[in-house]
Amino acid sequence: MTKFSELNLNPKVLKAIEEAGYESPTPIQEGAIPPALEGKDVLGIAQTGTGKTASFTLPMITMLARGRARARMPRSLVLCPTRELAAQVAENFDTYAKHVKLTKALLIGGVSFGEQDKLIDKGVDVLIATPGRLLDHFERGKLLLTGVQIMVVDEADRMLDMGFIPDIERIFSLTPFTRQTLFFSATMAPEIERITNTFLSAPTRVEVARQATTGENIAQCVVMFKGSRKDREASEKRKVLRALIDAEGEKCTNAIIFCNRKTDVDIVAKSLKKYGYDAAPIHGDLDQSQRTRTLDGFRDGSLRFLVASDVAARGLDVPSVSHVFNFDVPGHAEDYVHRIGRTGRAGRDGKAMMICVPRDEKNLADIERLVQNEIPRLGNPLQSATPPVDGTAEEVRKPAPRSRSRSSKSSNTPLPESIITEAVSEAGPVSAPEPKSAPEHDSSERSRAQQRNAASGNKVIGMGDHLPSFIALSFQERSAS
């Protein structure tokens, strides 16, 4: 097995890796670090949880340890789709550059930017940013990108989903042609392929296997659920969620509950809280301090249930989650893979449970096609005396045959009236009427992207989000030891 010490990394970086407790590189690190250190472009096809962040931070620190930053001209740039991911990348730099004198700045929305301006004025080695904020800053004349020697695009497929590709292309065109590019994406959609063909030069392609979605350590199941009446479905569905959680009992030490829409994230979190569950929401419309507080609580174990949208939860490093509940079937099959990958990490056992209403059956079929497996059906926990939730052969119902007629076969009988009456008003004032909203994206960032697209003639529909002032955050400069 390869050791980090064989990878030609700076000894001070090796020391920090050792202190972080890592011995051997993960496959993406083993594949990406050597070509990156040789100055080659890298195309990394890997998703979060594979160690991909260190696969670009470690060679970057090694390369940047030589040389000095110039005023307003960052030497390297890391682009991330969301604030949380950008902050996580910044944390990685803190961890691995602790023995190297490097300066960095973080340009993301929702945090004050005074000190970042000063840092950038002085010159930074690493600039970590979301695309919209970076361009805002650039347009204000505060920043020059002509000194960028290394540019990283992280989670490019998510950038695509969020409408950032025009921004990314613009940023590429503002950096020198001679820069080195390290580009990461979990999937290679045609648009991503086009970007890499345009902006990467003979990249070394490193692909690590998709996270196993049917791995033995992640038990999966889905409850096929139909509300007794359309207007009661939402509240009855929340009741099903609570029943699933209750049935798991102490086995469920902590969980991420995914909803497709921001409004549902809020409603589900509020409803759970009302019923005495320790839950908090996270999505792109919440202010940054609240998002940070919620995440910190979830990481340190003081918060048990994180109710999240895909964008907010994407890429978050939460080491041990016992359960993932998909309150909604995700609209993109790929998101199912990302969601359930939050549990069963590092070989631990995990459980992924999903609720599917009739209109989501097509999406469920897409997921099963993608993961090439049928997800075991589970009896409606509200209808069984002892809810069958352990995923054993006896308890789990056989999957419905893969056919167009599934929806009629899998529709469960309505809930008993007593349960319905209890459930109808349980989510408090936010539950009625349930607003329709688009699937969640980091709205302030996305709306900037949309504005730019509109300005450049690309039609983008929708928006209505406010544009919060952008801000940057200060990091302590670490001294060399």
Q: Which residues bind ligand AMP (CB under 6 A)?
A: 22, 25-26, 29, 48-54, 317
Q: In what order do the strands lie in the sheet with 42-45?
A: 204-207, 42-45, 180-185, 150-153, 76-79, 126-129, 104-109, 470-473
- Cβ closest to ligand AMP, residue 27 vs residue 379: 27
For residue 477, give the DSSP letter. P
Q: Alpha carbon of 182 to those of 48, 109, 227, 316: distances in Å?
A: 15, 24, 48, 20
Nearest residue to ligand AMP, using CB? Answer: 53
| Paired sense of beta strands 323-326 and 350-356, if any | parallel
CB of 323 to ligand AMP, least distance (A): 19
Using the minimum distance from each CB to ligand AMP, give the nearer residue, 50 or 288: 50
Which pair of tokens denotes residue 46?
């890997």
Pairing of strands 470-473, 104-109: antiparallel
Q: Which is nearer to ligand AMP, 51 or 330 (CB)?
A: 51
Q: Which is nearer to ligand AMP, 54 or 472 (CB)?
A: 54
Q: Which is nearer to ligand AMP, 29 or 443 (CB)?
A: 29
Please provide the DSSP assignment of 143-186 as one string: ---TT--EEEE-SHHHHHHTT-HHHHHHHHHHS-TT-EEEEEES
Indicate the pairing of strand 323-326 with strand 255-258: parallel
CB of 221 to ligand AMP, least distance (A): 26
Q: For ligand AMP, which is the closer residue by CB, 25 or 387?
A: 25
DSSP helix, strand, coil percent of the chain (3-state; round to 5)? 40, 15, 45
Helices (H), 359-474: 361-371, 406-410, 417-424, 443-455
Q: Cβ contacts of residue 12 below 8 Å, gap of 6+?
A: 65, 99, 100, 480, 481
Alpha-carbon Rg for the chain, nearest whole angstrom, is 23
Q: How far is the CB of 406 from ligand AMP (least distance, A)?
A: 35
Identify which of residues 100 and 449 has a Cβ nearer to ligand AMP in the complex.
100
